[in-house]
Amino acid sequence: MNDPRVTIRDVARAAGVSPAAVSKVLNDGYGVSAAMREKVMHAIAELGYRPNVTARAMRGRSHTVGVVADIRAPIVAQVVEGVQEGLRDSSLDVLLAPVGDAPERQRASIDTMINRNVEGLILIAPTLPYTALNTLGQSIPTVLIGRHGGGRHFDSVMDDDAAGAGLAVEHLAGLGHRRISHITMPTGRLRRPSVLPQTAREDGYVAAMRDHALEPDVITTDFTEEGGYAGALTALRRREPATAIFAGTDTVALGVLRAAHELGLRVPQDLSVVGADNIPVSALPQISLTTIDPAGKLNGSTSARLLRERIDGRLNPVTYAIAPSLVVRGTTAPSGSDR
């Protein structure tokens, strides 16, 4: 049980450091060595010391960062896990605001976070206008995940979605596929849709198809399993149906697999399928989906590191692109294979 009578001076004495050094560790101050942090945290654990949360708030620090995300996207869980890992050796906790993709809901959640005195914000795939994000970044340390383009007053961490699409096309074309369809989603009401992951992914797909002298075939639908199902039916009921489909997300790919099953097509003998996001369900043996891994946890931990730097006073914007990788499983095979 924690002893409420233990003071910061007791911790300092036990750790062999000054009270100021203990405060610096507790406040996640800049320049704290790993050895000092370890000594102080060991003394805190031994003595059962707990900082006075109310007093800390009155001094202007909440030791909380806000994460605003559309939790309907399965990859968000991996990203948030990465954020938590990136904050593990700090005094910062995570306050998660689950929202949809509507800009007004995102704005309302951000306002609530700011009213709760969070020290910084991590926005996962925000759909707010660029001007609103830049204004926000001027008022509070802000890092965006999954939004291309960067900004003057916030940091950006993103997967290289165009490169990921190129990996998918390169893999499928290398297997001999010529009719490769891509299922994407609408770009919404943004004036600059090029900042969205799905736009970068589509651009990468189109460029890679042309590099292989192939005709692009883009089908726009919702990024849901139902959307993938509907998009696949469009691609597979044509006079010259697709022999391979690159789905915009793994969830979309699940809908593609369902459509193939209903049409009596075997995967991968009759149809190859590649997803994107590498969510846990994709690795299940009964699915075994070939997919693009965007390193969701790395996106999260990198954004946490950048946010901590901004909280410590860095002002210059940083844009960080993470290279994706191709995970080959059981849903892709040479065109016309009968294994």
pLDDT at residue 58, rounded to an integer: 47
Give me the mean pLDDT over the 174-195 stretch.
80
Residue 5 phi/psi, 5-degree rounding, is -85, -10
- Is 12 in contact with 18 (CB distance < 8 Å)? yes
Provide the pLDDT for residue 104: 87
Q: CA–CA separation, 224 vs 253, rounded Å? A: 9
What class has domain 161-294? alpha beta
pLDDT at 54 over 70: no
pLDDT score of 150 = 86
The region of weakest confidence among 15-19, 54-58, 93-97, 108-112 is 54-58
Cα 53–90–148 angle (5° rounding)?
115
Q: What is the pTM of this model?
A: 0.79
> How many CB atoms within 10 Å of residue 136?
22
Average pLDDT rounded to a whole number, residues 306-314 = 94
pLDDT of residue 261: 97
pLDDT at 294: 94
pLDDT digits (tens, 9 = 90+) for 129-167: 888 999 999 999 999 999 888 889 999 999 999 999 999
Model pLDDT, residue 40: 86
In the chain, what are the domain boundaries? Answer: 8-51, 64-159+296-323, 161-294
Res 339 pLDDT > 50: no
CATH architecture of 64-159+296-323: 3-Layer(aba) Sandwich (3.40)
Q: What is the mean pLDDT of residues 228-239?
A: 97
Q: What is the pLDDT of residue 91?
A: 85
Where is average pLDDT lowest: 47-56, 115-124, 268-277, 283-292?
47-56
Q: Would you place residue 317 in the very low, low, confident or very high pLDDT band (cuts 50, 70, 90)?
A: very high
CATH code, 8-51: 1.10.260.40
Query: Is-same-fold flag (64-159+296-323; 161-294)?
Result: yes
Model confidence at 119: pLDDT above 90: yes
- Average pLDDT rounded to a whole number, residues 88-93: 88
Q: What are the E-state strand segments in the chain?
A: 64-70, 93-99, 120-124, 142-145, 155-159, 180-184, 217-220, 244-247, 272-276, 290-293, 319-322, 325-327
Most confident segment among 48-62, 96-110, 130-144, 208-222 = 208-222
Q: Which residues pair with 121 in a beta bridge?
A: 66, 142
Which range has highest mean pLDDT (91-105, 175-189, 266-280)? 266-280
- Total count of residues recorded for the chain: 339
Strand pairing category for 319-322 and 272-276: unpaired
Q: If you ran DSSP here, which 8-state letter would residue 246 be given?
A: E
- For residue 6, the model assigns a pLDDT of 81
